[in-house]
Amino acid sequence: MPFTPFHMGPGILVKALLRSSFSLMVFGWAQIVMDIQPLISMITGKGDLHGFSHTYIGASLLVIVSALSGKYLSQFGLWVLRIRDSIHHQISWGVVFLSAFVGCFSHVLLDSIMHSDVQPFYPFIQDNMFLRLVSVPVLHKICLYTGLLGAGIYYYLEWKLNSKRNDQ
């Protein structure tokens, strides 16, 4: 199913660990961009469900698309949500490209584990060596638990940082 929230779990953990060096909004946007091709395939009934967009070459191209569009969409989103002073706090290009890269490449990996039609190394290797590396229920649990762990780490670190600020 396109736009699955399970993909966000690992992203939340990466955000907790990298903090301001990672944009969860750009990561999430990359998840959506990755599933536009499967959505079109589902709507039209034409083309491969997980085609070129779900290869590492296709994902590399979508990193660029996700980064270029995601930077401005994320900054606008931060401004709308009034998170930070978004006019003066710009998301750096390094953060944007890292977040888009992690988003697109993790998407290919996760979908490779659960979908038999994904060929992550196409056109070089037409086999999916990641298929059923773990069962789909276990994969969903991994995604859920990494998200919960990431949220716990993130809010614990926020609490510690705020405690230090209040002590000073």
Asked whether the predicted pLDDT for residue 132 surpasses 80, the reply is: yes
- CB 123 within 8 Å of CB 56: no
pLDDT in tens, 91-101: 999 999 999 99
**Whether 104 contacts 62, CB under 8 Å:** yes
Q: What is the pTM of this model?
A: 0.91
pLDDT digits (tens, 9 = 90+) for 8-66: 999 999 999 999 999 999 999 999 999 999 999 999 999 888 999 999 999 999 999 99
